[in-house]
Structure 1
């Protein structure tokens, strides 16, 4: 009976050891699968990000051409206005300088008024 009990105990220990190995393999497989899923998700996220970035660049390039044209037109108009203002300033420049010098050199004293 003792040998039979010993044999049964040994069989149970072997079964427990085998079960432990199976559980360990299952854990390793699950860990490996989680890593693979995470890596796969990262790849999908990167591909999606790249796709959206490409779409944005395409949209930006399509609409930037219109903005560039409007910007160039606005710059041309501003340059024309600046040139016009400078031209008008140069036309009256001599007269303004002469009047300023006249006002500085011709002194006209005015008596103070009692208030």
Structure 2
């Protein structure tokens, strides 16, 4: 096969195509740079959103712990109040029961002293009498 002489019209076209390829390559690199910049911006936005979310979660946790502490303190106060009331009532009840018990003991001793002679007489009567 014999080599053909280059066609000058085709050579010019080829040269034009190389220049277009270089420009497209430069545009492609510019596009890559834009994509990288967009990716970095997106990453910055995502990181900012994560940081905001973490800050909100931390704040919510602190508020919840504060509410829990307040509720716990209120419940503890009410519990101590009821304990002191029941202890106070218990002390009053104990004193009242002691007074009632002393009064009943005194009443029983008084009644026993009052009827003891009658009881002794009745017992002697039944013990000494013989029935057929």
TM range (shorter): 0.5 to 0.7
Q: What displacement does 1:5 show?
A: 1.9
Match of 1:113 in 2: none
TM-score by length of 2: 0.60
1:75 correspondence with 2:102: no
TM-score by length of 1: 0.66
Q: What displacement does 1:17 show?
A: 1.8
RMSD, matched Cα = 2.6
- Gapped runs of 5+ residues in structure 1? 107-115
Q: 1:53 aligns with which of 83, 86, 98?
A: 83
Q: What displacement does 1:41 show?
A: 1.1
Counterpart Cα distance in 1 of 2:33 and 2:117: 121
Larger Rg: 2
Q: How does 1:1-115 map to 2 (within 5 A)?
A: 1-58=31-88, 61=91, 65=95, 68-99=98-129, 102-103=130-131, 106=132
